[in-house]
Amino acid sequence: MKTKEIIDQVEKLINDNSDLKFNIEEPSDSAVEAFFYKTARRLINAKKGYLSGSSGYLDYVIALRNFMLVFQTPLEVNSIDIPDGNSYGIYKNDDGKYYATYDIPAFIKNQSFVRDAFINIGTEEPFEKTKYLLKTNNFVESITGFKYFKSLEQKLCVYGGLNTPLGFTSLVSMPTGGGKSLVTQTLAYEKEGLTIVVVPTVSLATVYKGNIIKNLIMDCQSYTKYRPNETTGGIFVSWRRKEELPTGA
């Protein structure tokens, strides 16, 4: 994406009333880049509306703030007056340019949710395009490293498991490879205690154990019990936080 070209052209257009023609074509191969493009177009249209009187000062300032947040860039703005101490989260830096902050009120507890709602330069487009929002939250990403769920079904299973009320039991059923393991891994790390996972084969237990250690950075113990005259048995895999494991466990 021609990020710098867009920023330079927008900065010129908002400070020059003689020509408001935006000469950059909309990208067609990326939804995220298309959003950046439309954010710039929205600001130019807001400037046109402000000059013609079809929209107001706040419409223009809000579009300006949104552009700076999305592109994570300061802008020189000399075509309108932006007062110091304004309530729009717009400030002036030492170079005389304006920049925008999220400026989230203190009474909003989950402030990271508000920041995640903004698509910006750091936003990554999911590998698989989908009409659903598959972004994980900060908790899931911090303990597993996964930024996106594989599917809407996996997202529902993980959040459903996490929100199971105390004293209740949830049955999570998904096809093989659907991502059920993420449910147990996330639950195991959410609270202190012992988590037991039963899997049907030794090979699956080995893979499961490796993924747990890799993703959650935990010590993991596996226990294999074979029934007489049988070649397979139950595999019991348990893991706890490292600091909770006794010496020699």
- pLDDT for 249 equals 35
215: tokens are 């993703």
Average pLDDT of span 134-141: 83
pLDDT in tens, 184-220: 777 777 667 676 777 776 766 776 666 666 655 444 4
Q: Are 125 and 32 within 8 A, CB to CB? A: yes
Domain boundaries, the chain: 3-100, 126-172, 192-249
- pLDDT for 232 equals 37
Share of the chain above pLDDT 90, in %: 16
